[in-house]
Amino acid sequence: MDWTHLPGLADYRQTLAAMEDRVARIARGEADEAVWLLEHPPLYTAGTSARAEDLVAPGRFPVFEVGRGGQYTYHGPGQRVAYVMLDVAARGRDVRRFVAALEAWVIDTLAEFGVRGERREGRVGVWVTRPDKAPNLDGSVREDKIAAIGVKLRRWVSFHGISLNVEPDLGHFDGIVPCGIREHGVTSLVDLGLPVTMADVDTALMATFPRHFPMLDTAAAAR
C-alpha cells in the first residue's frame, strides 16, 4: 500500500488527472494500491446525482463536475481528503460492502478522538448527534455531517474517497446543499471542541485503515 501526503493545497484538475492515471496503472497491474492524503483550495464538486437547485451560490467557488457518486460536496483547507485507490475486484467485487468499509474506517478514526460517528439509512457519509444544539422542529436531536463519501470504480479499481472535516470554514458549505440534504448541518472535529490537528487525523486514519482494508495476498489478487 502506497501512502502519499500531497503538500499544500492540491490543484483539483491536476490531482484528478494524476489519480485517474494511477487507477489505470493499478488496473493494468503496473502500480500498487494507494491512498493520497491532501487538502484542496475552496471548491465545490458535483457528483452524478447533483441537482442544479442545490448549487445555492454558483459564483462563490469553482465548481467541478466529476464522475463519482453523490451530489454536491465542498472541499477546502482544513478538510482531510483521502483519495482511495484500491482493487475492489480482489476485495470481493461488492460495492456496497466497500462503501460501508469506508464509512466504518471513518467511524473508527473518529473514535480515536472520542467522537461517536454514526451511519444513517439512506444518507451516505458519517454523522454525529448534536444534543448541545437546539432540537429540530419535530423535537428530534440535531445531527451534523462530519464526513462525506463518494467513490467511482473503473475496471474495479476505486477512486475519489472520503473527506473528513477537521477545521474547515463551515461557512463555505453555505454555497451548496451538501449531498442534497437540507434537514441537517455540517460540523468538524474542531467545531465539536476538539483541538485536533491534521497530523493527528492522518495518524488515526493510517492506524485504523488495516482493520477494514487488510493487505492483499498478491498471488490471490492476480487478475
Of the candidates 87, 192, 52, 55, which has an alpha carbon nearest to the alpha carbon of residue 133? Answer: 192
Q: Are 116 and 187 in contact (CB under 8 A)?
A: no
Adjacent-strand bridge partners of 15:
none
Q: How many CA atoms lie within 13 A of 212 on its CB side?
A: 20
The reply to whether 64 belongs to the active site is: no
Q: Is 171 annotated as a binding residue?
A: no
The answer to whether 72 is a known ligand-binding residue is yes
Cell readout for 71 is 451530489
Is 175 marked as a binding-site residue? no
Residue at 119: amino acid letter: R
Q: Is 176 annotated as a binding residue?
A: no
> 163 among the known binding-site residues?
yes
Q: Is 107 annotated as a binding residue?
A: no
Catalytic: which of 179, 181, 192, 196? 179
Nearest one of 199, 205, 169 to 187, comparing CA atoms = 169
Do 94 and 102 form a contact (C-beta atoms < 8 A)? no
Map residue 189 onto helix, strand or coil. coil
Q: What is the DSSP string of 66-87?
A: -SSSSSEEEE-TTEEEEEEE-B
212 is in an annotated binding site: no
Report the binding-site residues.
68-75, 148-150, 161-163
Q: Tell me which residues are annotated as active site.
A: 179
Report the binding-site residues for substrate.
68-75, 148-150, 161-163
